[in-house]
Amino acid sequence: MKHLFLFLGVSLLAVQGFACDKCVNYNNDNFKIKSVSVKHSADIAATIWEIVVKGTAGKTTPTPAGQLNGAPVLGYVFPTTLKPTDVGFSDTEGIVALALTSHPDFDDTPLWDENNDRNYANDGIIWHPHWVVLTEDKRVEGGLAVKQFDPKDKSVVLPPTNPGMPMYMDSPGFQVITKGNTISVVVPDYRMNNKTDFSYDGVTAFMQVNTGGGNGHGGGEKPMLGVYKVYAVASGNLSLPYKVK
């Protein structure tokens, strides 16, 4: 696992210099991290995850591509030392991260109506959380992607709140709050195996969907959801130095 953390850090630092036409549109103060924190409250039996930026958190959202293939995804991401089994996945290699995302071209939270208009399939642009497992993927410039699996593999377990995609991704429905320069999310203890002693970091990134055949288990031009650009890393080197307070 240590070598994967090392690769993760090297990959994300390297991709900060990558030239991406679409990515430049979002390289602003709203994704420049000033601080990151995860605090545990025994009173409410939950952790409060928070990223503070130089600009206005969550103000910038992706420009729609008009289709799923090539759809842009922006994210405020917390890579952690949690295990996949802590958040409801089957045991697998990779980095568990909590990603707060926005993507106007599709909705991957079928159980939740974030904009409260009684339509559960039209609010992908509203900032919402995902548990994901990240792995090395050299098919994208960022060298990382959400881990995929063969849909026929019956050994894979996803939480019942997953969006139905062949990736280690969950749509847990936690409340995401944007206020001023802060974006935060509250996670009940029981939703992550009552773990309160993990390490973490903070990242802001541009990701993109590819539906052109990348399958993550034997080829394809691109992964289904890959990292293409990193705007900021809280620690500077993605060493996951922060501990839950």
pLDDT band at 107 (very low <50, low <70, confident <90, very high): very high
Dist CA 214 CA 221 (whole Å): 5
- Asked if residues 98 and 82 have their Cβ atoms less than 8 Å apart, the reply is no
pLDDT at 212: 76
SS3 content of the chain, % helix, strand, coil (to 5): 10, 35, 55
pLDDT at 4: 52
24-42 CB burial, b ≥16 within 10 A, e <16: eebbeebbebeebbbebee
pTM for this predicted structure: 0.90
- Asked if residues 89 and 133 have their Cβ atoms less than 8 Å apart, the reply is yes
pLDDT at 19: 46
Q: Name the residue range of residue 185's domain.
A: 2-243
Number of structural domains, the chain? Answer: 1
pLDDT at 213: 55
